Amino acid sequence: MLRLKQITLLLGDLVGLYLGFFLALSLRQKQIRIQTIEELITPMSLLFLGALVVMFIVGLYDISKLKNSWTFYQKFIISAIIWMGLGVAYFYLVPSPAAAAPKTILLLTAIIGFGISALWRWVYNSLLSTTLWQTRIIFAGLTPEVNELMKLLVNEPQRGYLVIGLIVASNETVPSEWSSIPQANSLTALNVKNINLLVIAPQYGTDKNLAKELYPKLFEHVQILRLEQFYEEIFKRIPPFTFSESWFLSNLQEQQKKIYDRVRVLVDYIAAVLMGLIWLITFPFVAIAIKLTSSGPIFYHHTRLGRNRIPFTIYKYRTMKVLAADGSAEISGPQFAMSEDNRITKVGKFLRRTRLDEIPQFINILKNEMSLIGPRPERPEFVEQITTTMPFYPLRHLIKPGLMGWAQLHQDYYGTIEENLRKLEYDLYYIKNRGFLIDVAIILRTVNVVVGMKGR
């Protein structure tokens, strides 16, 4: 359903951009000339693909944030300005016939096309997402995960889900906040109509009476999902109640991704070479800034655990003050970084926000110790500490650690044991679902972090 919604939004945006282009031609030339269309349709189509990428980067395809607000529509203005810049650069490098007047048409297309796209989003947010395309959902069983899901779906109606019923046992206590939702101990007693989705909690997975009630629903095209499936789809992480040897054996099929891994090695080396070029260009400026603003070395290196828990030395620019004799920022043993860490220098804050502090890790990628994308590498001390609480934590070492990670896109810092267990849920989601589509999404969303200086 999520992919369908995103594709629908994308197609609507594409139609809006093309419509804006044809209206721009009409306004500029008082009529639409076939010759001009033939001259510009190919470059404009390429630019429209670029527009979709820009819109994805700024977050216009994040279903959870589709709200009719000024902040949301500011993203269209930002996208239009960036797209204009890309268009001017393109036509400067690839000149078009003077009669086409591409610069004027670019400006008009940006105003009209992105304006139509914004109008389409208003219609979608106001009507389609919460009414016409609304998914009516029933939960069978009440667990902490169900409660978490219900809160999210109520607080974010733009996702398009409406909870219309709860199937609960007589010994289950339902919080007062859900008192307005119809409740019963069976689907028949609940007596609700127009069900689109039924999510079954583990305690109802072997309920024969419920299975008998659900069987006829197959002919009514009601979608039936296990709680862990729906939880994973909504939160993009693996719920911890599923953690077991049998579940991991069934879901972490590493041998099925050998071709993907071989292609990734090539991509990693290409990315590392490009990062090396960026490092050569920026190193003098970064090195001088670090030296002038704080005492200590330019680089920071430390031991991390890689694939199969093999230790390696990671390289970064130093972003913290030197507080200990060994040149580190730790006085009383290893400690997690914090969101407002006073050990970070002023230059270090800039390096972290732009992710420039990670650039030296191109060396680790070239040495095949790291990949471009994967779980962020962790220190051996923390791995040992967390593993005592969560024995399955070493599973994140099934693949090489990465420069960019799925978990880092959902939370900047994981500074406690509990938060690192949450990070494990995201890491396992990536390991289970890793592929080219999710890798592209991670790269584009990381670009948004870097350009917006949102790193920490």
Mean pLDDT across the chain, nearest whole number? 86
CB 139 within 8 A of CB 167: yes
In terms of DSSP bridges, do strands 299-305 and 311-317 run parallel, antiparallel, or are they unpaired?
antiparallel
Judged by average pLDDT, the poorest of 21-25, 211-215, 411-415 is 411-415
Q: What CA–CA distances, in Å, run from 225 to 199, 372, 400?
A: 5, 34, 32
Domain ranges in the chain are 2-132, 135-235, 254-451
Res. 228: pLDDT tops 50 = yes
Most confident listed range (97-101, 106-110, 272-276, 297-301) = 272-276
End-to-end CA distance of the chain, in Å? 33
Res. 43: pLDDT tops 70 = yes
- What's the confidence (pLDDT) of residue 99? 47
* 156 pLDDT tier (thresholds 50, 70, 90): confident
- What's the confidence (pLDDT) of residue 95? 66
Q: What CA–CA distances, in Å, run from 151 to 54, 138, 147, 211?
A: 31, 14, 6, 27
Which of 392, 394, 385 has the alpha carbon at shortest distance from 417?
Answer: 385
- What's the confidence (pLDDT) of residue 427? 94
- Both tokens of 446, joined, read 């990381």
Query: What CATH number belongs to 135-235?
Result: 3.40.50.720
Residue corresponding to tokens 């870097």:
450
Report how far Cα 456 is from the mean position of its chain's Cα atoms.
17
CB 310 within 8 A of CB 394: no
Mean pLDDT of 200-204: 88
* 288 pLDDT tier (thresholds 50, 70, 90): very high
- CB count in 10 Å sphere of residue 50: 15
